[in-house]
Chains A and B, each alone.
Chain A
Amino acid sequence: MFLALREIRRAKVRFGLLISAIGLLVLLILAQQAIQNGLITSFIGAIERQSAPVLVYSVDAQRTLQGSVITPPLEQKVRATEGIAKSGRIGQGTFTVRVNDSSEDSDAAIIGYDAPDLGAPDQLTAGRLPEGPGEAVGSDNGFELGDRIQVLGSGGQTADTERIEVVGLADDAQLQVTPTLFVKWPDYVASVKSANPDARGVLPSAIGAAPVAGLDSATLAERINDSSQEADALTRQAAADGTPGVAEVRSSFQVIFLLFGLVVPLVTGLFFLIITLQKSASLTLLRAVGASSGLLVRSLMFQVVLVIGGGLAIGIALYTPLSQAQLGEIKLSFDVGAVLCWSALLLGLGLLSAVAATRRVLAIDPIEATTGEGGR
C-alpha cells in the first residue's frame, strides 16, 4: 500500500479537505441521531419507563396522558375485561412547582400510580421507590436525590400545598420534555387539589393493566378495546411510539439522515473518480511496467477505507464530548449501537461509491504508455 500512502502524503491538502468534510458529516449525522433519540425520549421516556405493560387511555386522549380522562364507567369496563391479572389507576398532570425553596418556579410533570408494578418506573438508577406519603422517584434529568418539591396553588400560594421529597431517581423518565415525578396515588390527588382547590373528585388519566400468565400484552390490549368503544388500550411500546409527534420526529429525521448519508458516498466517490482520471497517465505507466490491475484497485480501496475511516475517527472524536452534553431539556447520550451502525453503513457506501473510479482503473490499457503524449 506504499503507493496509496505516498499519494496521500503528496496531496495532503485535498485528502485533508475530504477527510474533514467527511468528519463533519459524520459528526452531524451522529449528533442528529443523538438529538432524535434524546428528543423522543424526553417526550415519552416516562411511558417507556413506567412498569405497566398495557396502558388504557380514553379514546379522546389521542394517546397522550395529559389529554386522557378515565370515567368510572369506563374504569369498571376495563377492570372487568377477561384476562386482566391486575389493574391500577395512573394519573398525570403538569404543575408549577418550587424546588428546594428556590425563588424561581418551574414545571414538573407528576405521575401518580396505584401499584408500583403498574405505573412506577421499572428501573431506578438511585435510591428507592416511594414508601410513605410525600415521596417520589424523579427523572434524573431534572431532579436529584433529596430534592424537596412544593406544588404551587393556582394563585401561587404555598400554604397547605402538597410537598414531595425525591427518594429515588430513574433515567430516560421524562414526559413532554418536563422533569417528571412518580408518586403514589394519594400524593397525586393531593397535588391536583393543591393546584386547583375547586377540583371535584380526581379521575385517573389512564389505567395500567397486566395480563394473566400465558396471555400477551398485545392481546390483552385488543380485548380491552373490544370491551369498550371509549377505551384506547396499547402496549407500553405502542403507547410510546403512538404519542403524537413521535412519528413526525422520526420521519423528519429520516429524511435528514437520508440526505446527509447520501452526501458522504457522493463526495467520496466523485473525489476518487476525479483523481483517478487526473492520474491516468501515471496509472498507465504503472500498468506498463508491470503492476496488476488488482494491485491498483486494492490501492484505491485502501485509500477509500483510510479516508472514510479517518473521517469517522474525526467525527466520532468530535461527537464524544458533545454526546455528554444537554441541549436544553434534551439529554444526549453516546449510543454505541448507532455509532457502529453508521460506521459500517458509511464505510460500505464509500467503497461502493468508488466503483466508478475502479472501473476507470480496470479500463486502463498499458499500451497507452507508449503512444501517449509526454515524449520529448
Chain B
Amino acid sequence: MSLALKELRRRPGRFGVATVILTLIAILLMFLGGLLDGLTAGNTGAIRAQQADLIVYSSTSQDSLVRSRIDPEQRRQTRDVDGAGDVGELGSVQLGGRIEGRGRRDLVPIVLFGYGAASRGLPKPPAKPGEAWADDTLKAEGVKQGDVIRVGPARSPVRVIGFVDDTRYAGQSTLWASLGTWRKVQNDNRPDARVGPGVSQALVVQASASDPADLAARIDEATGGSTSSLTEDEAIDALPGVAAQESVFNQIIGLTVLIAIIVVALFFALITVERIGLYGVLKALGADSGRLFAGVLLQAVIVTLIACGIGALAAIALDAVIPVGSIPFIATGGRLAGSTLFLLVAAVIGCAFSLRRVLGVDPATAIGGGQ
C-alpha cells in the first residue's frame, strides 16, 4: 500500500493527467447536479414550506394551483373528515413587483401567496393587511425589511416584515401574506379571476392521526369527488416540469458517470502499460497480484478524491459567484457528496479494466528481459 502512496507522491506528473480530466468531470457532475437542485428548489420551495401532510386542489384543476378553486363548502367538508387536523387555505397570484428605485419597466417576477396557520413551515401569517414575509432571494433585488413592494398593474402595496428561506415557486421569488391580503391583491389585479370571500385555491391539511394516503381518499370522498387530495410529494411531482426535469437530468448525469468510467479505464490502462516492467520486478520479488492491484485501486481512489475536492471547491465558488436569478444553481453538501460517491464507484470500475493486465504480468519478464 505505501508503495502505491509513495509513487503517487513522488511521481505526481504521471497521475496529473488523469487528475485533471477527472477534476473536469467532477465539476461537470457537480454542476449538473447543482443545476437540477437549483431548478427543483426554485420550483418546489413554496410547497415544501407548507410541511403539509396533504394539499387539496379542486378536481378539475389538473393539480395546478393557479387553476384550482376551493369554496367554503369544500373547506367545511374537508374539516369535518375524521383525521383531518389543521386545515388551512392557500392562494396565489403571479404579478410583477415594483421595487423603489428601479426603472419603470424593470419588474421583479413575484408570486404572492395567502396562507393560514396550517402552513407549518412558515412563520405566523402577518396580522395586518398589506404585510408579507418575503423570500430571501428578494434581498438580492435590494429589498430590505420594511420596504414596500408594489405588485401588479394596480400597484398594490405590500410591506415586507421579514424574510423566509427556500420558499420560491415556479422559479420566482415569493411574498407570504394573510389570506385577506391575497384576496384583495388578486381581485384588484386580476379582475377576470376574482375570488369571493372564503374562496381559495388549495387547502393545506395536517393529518391528526391517520395515514395521509388514506386521509386523502376520504377527503375526496367527503367532497363528492370535487377535490383532488395529494400528499406533499405527489403535489411536488405534479408541479409542471419537476418530474421531467429530474428524469432528463438524471439520465444526463448517468451518461456522464459512464463517460467517467471509460476515461478512468483509459488513462489507468495507459499508466499500467508504463509500469509493466515495475510490476514484473515486484512480482518476481514476491508481491502478489492482489496487492499490486490494491495499490492501483488506492491510487485511483486518491486521484478521484483529489479531483472531487477541487470540483467541490469550484462548485462552492460558483454558487457564491453566480448572481441570483441568472443560473439556477445551488451547491448542496448532499449533492457534492453524492457526485463524489458516483465518481469513486466509476474510478473503481474503470480500474478493473486494468486488472487483467496487472494479473497477467509474468514475473519472468523481470529476468533477462523475458524468454
Contact = CB atoms under 8 A, between A and B. Distances in A.
A273 B270 CA distance: 11
A215 to B, nearest CB: 22
B302 interface: no
A266 B28 CA distance: 14
Interface in A238-271: 244-245, 247-248, 251-252, 255-256, 259-260, 262-263, 266-267, 270-271
Nearest to B191: A200
Contact of B104 (A61, A94, A155, A229): A229
Interface stretch (B18-26, B79-87, B134-142): B18-26
A21 B273 CA distance: 20
A186 interface: no
B213 interface: no
A105 B60 contact: yes
B60 A154 contact: yes
Contacts of A69: 153, 190, 192
Most buried by B among A96, A266, A270: A270
Contacts, number: 143
A270 B21 contact: yes
B240 A177 contact: yes
Most buried by A among B60, B95, B243, B353: B60
Interface residues on A, range: 35 or more
Contacts of B255: 24, 27-28
23 contacts: A17-B262, A21-B259, A21-B262, A24-B255, A27-B255, A59-B96, A60-B95, A60-B96, A62-B109, A67-B94, A94-B67, A155-B226, A248-B171, A248-B325, A248-B327, A251-B326, A251-B327, A259-B27, A259-B28, A271-B270, A275-B270, A327-B247, A327-B248
Given A21-B259, A25-B259, 12 more contacts: A14-B270, A17-B262, A24-B255, A35-B248, A59-B96, A69-B153, A106-B62, A152-B60, A263-B21, A263-B28, A267-B263, A327-B248
Interface of A: 13-14, 17-18, 20-21, 24-25, 27-28, 31-32, 35, 58-62, 67, 69, 71, 94, 96, 105-107, 152, 154-156, 177, 192, 196, 198-200, 202-203, 229-230, 232, 244-245, 247-248, 251-252, 255-256, 259-260, 262-263, 266-267, 270-271, 273-275, 278, 327-330, 376
Q: When A and B form their complex, which 8 residue pairs have the shortest distance between CB atoms, in order from nearest?
A: A328-B244, A156-B60, A17-B266, A21-B262, A60-B153, A60-B96, A270-B17, A259-B28
Interface of B: 17, 20-21, 24-25, 27-28, 31-32, 35, 59-62, 64, 67, 69, 94-96, 104-105, 107, 109, 152-153, 171, 190-194, 226, 240-241, 243-244, 247-248, 252, 255-256, 258-259, 262-263, 265-267, 269-270, 273-274, 325-329, 353, 369
